[in-house]
Structure 1
Amino acid sequence: MFQQLSGGKRWLLVSSLSLTSALVSTTTHALTLNLLHFSDAESSLLTRTGTVSPTTTPPTTFEYSGVGLFADLIDRQRNASSTDFDLLVTAGDNYLSGPQFQASLSLPEGQQFYDAKALELFNIDVGGIGNHEFDFGPDVLARFIDPEGDGTGFRPFVSSNLIIPDNNPLKGLIQPSTIVTKTVNGVQERLGVVGVTTPLLRSISSPEDVETIGDVVGTPGFAALANQVQTEVDKLTQQGINKVVLVSHLQNINEEKALAGLLKDVDIIVAAGSDTRLANPDDPLLPLTGETPVPSYPLVYDSNTGTQVNSLAAVTGEPVLIVSTDGEYKYLGNLQVEFADGRVTSILEPESGPKRNTSLDGLAPRQDLVEQVQNPVAAFVDRLKQTPVGVTNVPLDSIRTNVRAKSTLAGSLIADAVRDAARDGAESVGLDPENILVGIQNGGGIRNDRRFLPGDTISEFDTFDVLPFSNFVSVVTDITASELLEILERAVSGQTAPDVGGGGQFLQLSGLEVVYDVTSPAQVVTADGIITTPGSRIQSIFLDPDNDRTGQFLYDVAQGGFLLNSDQGLFDLATINFTANGGDNFATLANIPQNRKFTLSGVTYQQALEQYIRGNLGGTIDESDIKSGEGIRARDVSSLVAPATGGQVIVPGDGNGVSVPEPTTLLGLVAVVGLTRLKRRRAN
């Protein structure tokens, strides 16, 4: 139940668990639920222009996405009938780092974020919580829900498996569940909404002291997740609630499918986080390349057997329906079902299905959303495009085939920026900046195939365009020699020839010089993160914090491998949270305990690059600012590059009285190749 406050601006949720069945009648008659749902909006507030695929002559363009059109779509799908219960929910990832969300972060304290304003103008009933809500930490999420800071959210947000400490700003703003009460045909009807958030939260976002209950499918902890959700459902049913919707942000629809077989008294699961575009053959999709349906909408599960069936008629117990749509305000899911005595008895067709958000269907942007959200966000983004960060005097590019295959100037610059940001923020998380000797940036995080020529100005928008994700600067402490070798083997495992192939895992480096041999066996990692073949491509690892090729050898096949204890902690490693937590199937990083990982809340890799160019480089990028940046920091053994020069010992002894040998120089390219091959022959 909601109480309107302060001129309709905000709503106070009356505790769902304090309502008694005496207040409202429990449904014992037929009721039509008109469920409207969306998720993964991810700050896609502005309308986009697309080109119809297959291509027409001349090409046909159309408008899609954006909150203005989406509001009109919601209005169209809301059923004005007094016999229907309209319910509008989101299932998480309501915002995402990028130029459009930056418009909200730039607002003064107390002003509502544009993403929240959109949800309020849509008049959502309940919001779910995803992983991206925590990308900037609990403080920003609390401001999103409660911009005025008075402890009252603008709408109820739910998640049943979050453990929120008493002193956390989110305490009281996120509830396990809520009850939505509406008058239908003169009768007050009640429906329960429960939330659940991915248990991977700590590994893919920055929740700080917020914990999660449960784990993913295939682990013992998945039963704990299901039990936690069931406990909250039981609290609702004990109050006479016989219609329950679960808004679930578990990142993979297979998680929701597994959950459907374990829960009782849940009628509908809104799955989110995977952008699964459930649809039937007659549901029109956006005419964009790759916009294919996943059959069908909805998925029907039998609670008795926990298995998917083809229709309600095949259900032997209680039916559980799963719905999901693509994100970024591209689709509004619309499920219309009839209930009788709390059980879904029919799915209304053709009313049910994903509804595309496009001008092709006669939608027109709703003016309140245009004026209060789209116009100010568009103006902010335009200012980003007009705001210079610096000028480059060297060619820089984010071409996919380059940054995923070889050391580039742009990639090296970004890795240097990530390391510098980590050093700047180290003391805020209790670390010593002097220990952060190396930085890595995965090639997959560098996007959009941009080229900047000497003399080009790089705008603030350009930095977002090249580094678009909510990747936050992180530090992994006490990287050992053996861990470093495994990480680097994974980095070069996708190469098919010198400077060719690779994948998102290829690393742009700062503070390291690595030589590999693409003809040697590559590391093999299973989908579930098990290294089955260690790989033997890495030929030498040269620690070079100044990127001037005067550092220290840590590993060199020509000298017998490790030049120090392989279990010795070498340094702290700067990277982004995606990579630190094992993204791109970096199994070694995934298995490093969380107590060795620190994320700088609110410092994205985009911000690191912008601040590095503005501050450290004074707004001008010269070749001397990216020492050894092109084709040297990571290269195949066949590359004609002069050998590095050993300098002072950077890594001390291993603490057990074992000294580290003085660094030596490579004996020349030909000699190294010969020694390496000779060593292999002897090993065989």
Structure 2
Amino acid sequence: MRYLNSTKAGLIFLALGLTACTDTADESDVNALRDDLNNLTDQVNNEETFELQLLHLADMDGSNVDALANVGNIAAIVNGLRNQHPEKTLFVSSGDNYIPGSRYTASSDDSFSTVTGVATPGDGRADIAFLNAMGLEASAVGNHDLDSGTSAFAGLIAADGNWSGAQFPYLSANLDFSADTSVSGLEVSDGQEASAMPNSLAAYAVVTVDGEQIGLVGASTPTLENITSTGDINVLPANDSITDLAAEIQVSVNELTDSGVDKIILLAHMQQLAVEKQLASLLSEVDIIVGGGSNTLLADYNDRLLPGDTAADSYPLIYNSASNEPVVLVNVDGDYKYLGRLMVEFDAAGRIILSSINPLVSGVYSAEDETVSAVNGSANSTVDNIVTAVNDVLVAQESNILGNTSVYLNGQRSSVRSEETNLGNLTADANLWYAQEYDASVDISLKNGGGIRADIGSFAFPPGSTDVEDIEYFPPESFPAAGKETGDISQFDIQSALAFNNGLTLVDVSAAELKAIVEHGVSDIGGGRFPQVGGLSFSYDPGAAVGSRVTDLSVGGTAVVSSGVVQAAGPFRMVTLNFLAGGGDGYPIPATNREDLVLDASLSTSVDMSANDPGQASFAETGSEQDALAEYLKQFHPDDSAPFSNSDTIADDSATDSRISTL
């Protein structure tokens, strides 16, 4: 319920009183009452609207190079815009503030003990320190925030020695943290001022901006358990119903409105903007939704975009809430490429005034020098110093050359999640070869495309063109400062592409189980579960019913499935990722004869791979996918005398794909 402003109620009372006494009171009393009325009218006019500058980020979880190149300018833009409206600014993130990989591990280097903002080395701390230095006030819990497990997540949030931890609360109304001992101790009471909630987890918080309370509610995708490492965190609802999810979120919203907070912002990390669009009309009393996880660029007609970028839709998107009030949805692309800015006014009842949103002011601000100048931005020295320290570590990683390619290795998100790619083939083959070093009977390799996080190489428009059909693709660029020549594949490249660095796991699968596994992989084309394979080939019909899409499948040239019918019995020895073997992405992988190649004393299935590891690369854990790819490259494609040369068509062209055929 929206409440009548008390000052407005007083104005009405005085106006009635003035009308009643005009004919009976003496002139001095009337004048005094009129003065009171005029003063209160001025106060109401000032209170009629409340203006907010909302700054927001999302999805800083992709390319190390892009993020590090962009974050300094974004920090400067935040400074510039905050200085324009110092009393009216709120700065938030909708999650995925980091991702495991080179940038994530760089801050574990001993050199970070002297870096302001980090001070105590540790994985991921540079990424959190960026946000601390920029004055972030709250964040939703994203899926990648949990990729290294709940213990690592807790270690980033909590203070430790000279490490200050996250100086803002992580929020999610549909995550129950109480059963997970790693994070349960970080839970605090909901509804406190966010500034009083550093190093904490909660469902919702309050931020006071220019004397007005703003409610911040977090929400995480209900698919979280399938796509990251949630430990014993309970994800609600237990199904994927968006209506049920809205009901979970509404509980927190209602608690805020019942306490008198009438301006509510939802930080929603839903992975798909379509879900946030649904939530907009299902929720009551929510005014603004900040989307996350989908890397969707919303922009208005006059926003300056980075070269090659196009907006998926306008900024903001406008909907009608379940309480029949306007609700706006905003989102930005990731890797610190853009800062979102929504300048908006609320009326006295806490409703958004849509006419107050000026496209010349609101929209996305690109991480470019020109934008910094346009907003009179100023450098954030802490951010810039952390960037320098991370880059120093990454230069050392770039100098560790592990292989060579004469072609661009396609790890683009849209490709690896929908078709066969040369990088998918390369890393699947590396896993197969590496597993055979331990067990020669391993037949096949399967991994999820969503585990490939970056390409290896570069691409660009030719001069004068902006047509995507004209894009040219290149092998990795030289990096003279690190002694890296064109085509060289470095430790940095491998850590970026295989950022999660899952362990390798061996299992036995029957022919029927193999078909079910591949069927699951092609049941969500464009999703992270789409398979990249080695040692087998298959064809599938994306238009057929889920569970009946695989038409033919062969292992080592022997037909296992023909015309959709299983022809063989198996079993087949398969190498996959421990993430998938544990049910990640919902894969139905059996535990038959399971062996995990990363040595872990806590796992009864763990084996010691060290005696079988070729030992030519040492930067990654033995038995991990980064180690497998590095060892494979060292063995077969060590330099430009024997480069990897299987090119990729980039576009979906099944005629040139030898392992995955789309009918």
TM bin (shorter chain): 0.5 to 0.7
CA contact (8 A) 1:70 1:357 kept: yes
CA contact (8 A) 1:43 1:101 kept: no
CA distance in 1, matches of 2:369, 2:378: 9
Letter of the structure 1 residue corresponding to residue 395 of structure 2: D
Letter of the structure 2 residue corresponding to residue 483 of structure 1: E
- Measured after TM superposition, the shift of residue 345 of structure 1 is 2.0
Residue equivalent to 2:172: 159
- Measured after TM superposition, the shift of residue 207 of structure 1 is 1.5
Residue equivalent to 1:680: none
CA distance in 1, matches of 2:522, 2:314: 39
Residue equivalent to 2:495: 464
Provide closer, same or farther for how the CA distance between residues 268 and 442 of structure 1 changes in structure 2, counting only shifts above 3 A. Answer: closer
The answer on 1:181 being equivalent to 2:214 is no
CA distance in 2, matches of 1:210, 1:420: 36
Letter of the structure 2 residue corresponding to residue 348 of structure 1: I
Cα deviation digits, residues 349-402 of structure 1 (max 9, x gap): 1221111121123447725145431100110110101134x468xx78664499
Provide closer, same or farther for how the CA distance between residues 541 and 323 of structure 1 changes in structure 2, counting only shifts above 3 A. Answer: same
Residue equivalent to 2:136: 124
Letter of the structure 2 residue corresponding to residue 181 of structure 1: T
- Measured after TM superposition, the shift of residue 468 of structure 1 is 4.5
The answer on 1:100 being equivalent to 2:120 is no
The answer on 1:274 being equivalent to 2:294 is yes
Note the 1:319-338 alignment, pairs <5 A: 319-338=326-345
Q: Which moved further from structure 2: 395-404 or 137-146?
A: 395-404
CA contact (8 A) 1:36 1:335 kept: yes
CA distance in 1, matches of 2:592, 2:206: 38
Residue equivalent to 1:481: 511
Provide closer, same or farther for how the CA distance between residues 593 and 127 of structure 1 changes in structure 2, counting only shifts above 3 A. Answer: farther
CA contact (8 A) 1:523 1:531 kept: no
Cα deviation digits, residues 492-548 of structure 1 (max 9, x gap): 99xxxxxxxxx9956442xx4x476xxxxx422359x71344403x3x4359xxxxx
CA distance in 2, matches of 1:598, 1:526: 36
- Measured after TM superposition, the shift of residue 167 of structure 1 is 4.5
Cα deviation digits, residues 285-343 of structure 1 (max 9, x gap): 22x12x112332111111248xxxxxxxxxxx211111111111111111111112211
Provide closer, same or farther for how the CA distance between residues 151 and 325 of structure 1 changes in structure 2, counting only shifts above 3 A. Answer: closer
CA distance in 1, matches of 2:593, 2:178: 22
CA distance in 1, matches of 2:591, 2:64: 34
CA contact (8 A) 1:137 1:601 kept: no
- Measured after TM superposition, the shift of residue 610 of structure 1 is 4.2
- Measured after TM superposition, the shift of residue 235 of structure 1 is 1.1
Residue equivalent to 2:551: 535
CA contact (8 A) 1:45 1:374 kept: no
CA distance in 2, matches of 1:479, 1:143: 38
Residue equivalent to 2:78: 74
Letter of the structure 2 residue corresponding to residue 133 of structure 1: D
SS at match of 1:40: coil
Letter of the structure 2 residue corresponding to residue 87 of structure 1: L
Residue equivalent to 1:293: 311
CA contact (8 A) 1:419 1:439 kept: no
- Measured after TM superposition, the shift of residue 134 of structure 1 is 0.9
Aligned partner of 2:304 among 284, 300, 304? 284
CA distance in 2, matches of 1:337, 1:213: 32
Provide closer, same or farther for how the CA distance between residues 67 and 530 of structure 1 changes in structure 2, counting only shifts above 3 A. Answer: same
Residue equivalent to 1:414: 430
Aligned partner of 1:260 among 273, 280, 283? 280
The answer on 1:38 being equivalent to 2:41 is no
- Measured after TM superposition, the shift of residue 228 of structure 1 is 0.9
CA distance in 1, matches of 2:248, 2:180: 23
CA distance in 2, matches of 1:442, 1:268: 34
Aligned partner of 1:356 among 359, 366, 370? 366
The answer on 1:387 being equivalent to 2:395 is no
Aligned partner of 2:541 among 524, 531, 546? 524
- Measured after TM superposition, the shift of residue 577 of structure 1 is 4.1
CA distance in 1, matches of 2:595, 2:89: 43
Cα deviation digits, residues 455-483 of structure 1 (max 9, x gap): 99753123235x24446346586633213
Residue equivalent to 2:446: 440
CA distance in 2, matches of 1:238, 1:596: 55
Number of corresponding residues: 515
CA contact (8 A) 1:298 1:321 kept: yes
Letter of the structure 2 residue corresponding to residue 96 of structure 1: I
CA contact (8 A) 2:501 2:626 kept: no
- Measured after TM superposition, the shift of residue 155 of structure 1 is 1.1
Residue equivalent to 2:194: none
Residue equivalent to 1:302: 320
More strand by share: 1
CA contact (8 A) 1:79 1:86 kept: no
CA distance in 2, matches of 1:582, 1:482: 20
Letter of the structure 1 residue corresponding to residue 134 of structure 2: F
CA distance in 1, matches of 2:95, 2:129: 15
CA distance in 2, matches of 1:322, 1:207: 27
Provide closer, same or farther for how the CA distance between residues 455 and 46 of structure 1 changes in structure 2, counting only shifts above 3 A. Answer: closer
SS at match of 1:482: helix
- Measured after TM superposition, the shift of residue 214 of structure 1 is 2.3
CA contact (8 A) 1:418 1:605 kept: no
CA distance in 1, matches of 2:156, 2:580: 23
Provide closer, same or farther for how the CA distance between residues 85 and 462 of structure 1 changes in structure 2, counting only shifts above 3 A. Answer: closer
Provide closer, same or farther for how the CA distance between residues 581 and 257 of structure 1 changes in structure 2, counting only shifts above 3 A. Answer: farther
Residue equivalent to 1:227: 247
CA distance in 1, matches of 2:495, 2:421: 22
Residue equivalent to 1:663: none
CA contact (8 A) 2:173 2:219 kept: yes
CA distance in 2, matches of 1:33, 1:595: 57
CA distance in 2, matches of 1:124, 1:462: 30
Aligned partner of 2:183 among 151, 166, 170? 170
More helix by share: 2
Provide closer, same or farther for how the CA distance between residues 630 and 301 of structure 1 changes in structure 2, counting only shifts above 3 A. Answer: closer
CA distance in 1, matches of 2:160, 2:298: 38
Aligned partner of 2:635 among 621, 626, 630? 621
Q: Which moved further from structure 2: 147-156 or 595-604?
A: 595-604
- Measured after TM superposition, the shift of residue 410 of structure 1 is 3.9
Provide closer, same or farther for how the CA distance between residues 418 and 203 of structure 1 changes in structure 2, counting only shifts above 3 A. Answer: farther
CA contact (8 A) 2:409 2:422 kept: no
CA distance in 1, matches of 2:434, 2:252: 42
Residue equivalent to 1:681: none
CA contact (8 A) 1:204 1:581 kept: no
CA distance in 1, matches of 2:63, 2:159: 20
CA distance in 1, matches of 2:391, 2:352: 43
Provide closer, same or farther for how the CA distance between residues 410 and 474 of structure 1 changes in structure 2, counting only shifts above 3 A. Answer: closer
Letter of the structure 2 residue corresponding to residue 223 of structure 1: T
Note the 1:519-598 alignment, pairs <5 A: 522-526=539-543, 530-536=546-552, 538=553, 540-542=554-556, 555=560, 562-564=567-569, 573-575=575-577, 577=579, 590=587
SS at match of 1:72: helix
TM-score using structure 2 length = 0.65
SS at match of 2:551: coil
